[in-house]
Amino acid sequence: MHELSIVSSVVETVEESLANYPGARVVEVRLKVGALASVVVDSLEFCWGIAIEGTALAGSRLVVVTLPVVMHCAHCDADVELDGVQSFRCPRCGEICLDLRQGRELDIESYEIEEADRSEEIGVKG
Amino acid sequence: MTTRIVELRRGILKKNDELAAGLRDRYAAGGVLVLNLVSSPGTGKTAFLERTLRELRERGAKVAALVGDLETDNDAKRLAASGAPVRQINTHGICHLDAEMISKHLEGWELADLDYLFIENVGNLVCPSSYDLGEKIRVALLSVTEGEDKPLKYPTLFNSADAAVITKMDIAEPCGFDRELALKNINEIRPGIRIFETSAKTGAGMEEWLAYLAEERVKREAFQ
């Protein structure tokens, strides 16, 4: 339900960073979203189209990589990946896991831009 | 044209997280135990909080509350009847409280004069789990009318909670509430969490809840 405000904040952050690359066109923005982040990927993608309209990111794609929950199992002394978020037991030994190592991420990983080549720029000036 | 990847590697909610960290420091400096109450609409957060505020005040504790709703100040009026200072936060359509709203609504309150501050979040089992309000304890509430599988349906919220409260226990029987199953489901999603079985109407479970609050407050003082 709060996906629009989330993507709006992504747009804002990328726009701030874009100031370092004048004239660049944004092709793609990559997010990492954990299985426990409480956001719906389809909804992020839907809201993306609305949020980028009229901004420097217009026409860009949103790529969302989802991360499974990883817990540290004290019994196995290992980091284990859970199959879902319906149970927090170690899939190897069945013991309860309390130590969350991955799954709450809601991060902007990177974005891809297209820039005019330097030689082209010089050419224009020449 | 050349393409370039710009690495950002930053949290999308970084601004909220930074504000929440600032609030956490302020709460600690003021020696106030802060709790964030989260549940579906209709679980009985307000009734539970009304009783909690009243009973804490009867025991001489200094308490205050912030209450979030999309519209109206009905809940603030109900809570204020306890005699505690209460402020309503109207989000006007936003489905959760964030750290900025809390910060704004704390203006003028002297945190050092409080023992407990309760934040009643907007009724929603999804979005509030993403927004840190700087609280020490996040409480997930579940009523006996909602179905025992609610923790399985909304695992992200129950997994982020520090304590769980089952409300309306006085009507558990006519609702056919399967207590064992509800406890089992909460424990699957958040193993080892403290669970309180309460009724704001009869007062059942309130002693245990209030004892927990007092314990947590002592712990908190010891940490400062």
pTM of the model: 0.89
Strands (E), chain B: 2-11, 33-38, 63-69, 86-90, 116-120, 137-143, 163-167, 194-197
**Rounded distance between C-alpha atoms, residue B158 and residue B117, angstroms:** 21
Query: pLDDT by residue (tens digit) across B80-126?
Result: 999 999 999 999 988 899 999 999 999 999 999 999 999 999 999 98
User: What does the angle CA A81 – CA A47 – CA A102 come to, to the nearest 5 degrees?
Assistant: 15
pLDDT on residue A5: 87
Whether the CA torsion B167, B171, B174, B180 is positive or negative: it is positive
Q: B160 vs chain A: nearest CA distance in angstroms?
A: 9
pLDDT on residue A9: 92
Which three-class secondary structure state does DSSP give residue A31? strand
Could you tell me the pLDDT band of residue B218, with boundaries at 50, 70 and 90?
A: confident
Residue A117: pLDDT over 90: no
Could you tell me the pLDDT band of residue B33, with boundaries at 50, 70 and 90?
A: very high
**Rounded distance between C-alpha atoms, residue B65 and residue B80, angstroms:** 9
| Amino acid symbol at B221 | E
- Least CB-CB distance to B6: which of A1, A88, A113? A113
Could you tell me the pLDDT band of residue A126, with boundaries at 50, 70 and 90?
A: very low
Segments making up each domain of chain A, as ranges: 3-68+103-125, 70-101
Q: How much is the average pLDDT of B195-211?
A: 98
**Rounded distance between C-alpha atoms, residue B12 and residue A28, angstroms:** 16
Q: Which two tokens stand for residue A72?
A: 């540290």
* Interface confidence (ipTM) of the complex: 0.85
Q: How much is the average pLDDT of B168-179?
A: 97
Q: How much is the average pLDDT of A93-100?
A: 92
Q: What's domain A3-68+103-125's architecture?
A: 2-Layer Sandwich (3.30)
Q: A38, B189: Cβ pair inside 8 Å?
A: no
Q: Which residue on chain B is closest to A27 by alpha carbon?
A: B3
Q: Which domains, and CATH codes, for chain B? A: 14-223 (3.40.50.300)
Residues B75, B67 contacting (CB under 8 angstroms):
yes
Question: Nearest to residue B130, comparing CAs of A72, A8, A3?
Answer: A3
Could you tell me the pLDDT band of residue B62, with boundaries at 50, 70 and 90?
A: very high
Q: Which two tokens stand for residue B88?
A: 């309503």
Could you tell me the pLDDT band of residue A120, with boundaries at 50, 70 and 90?
A: low
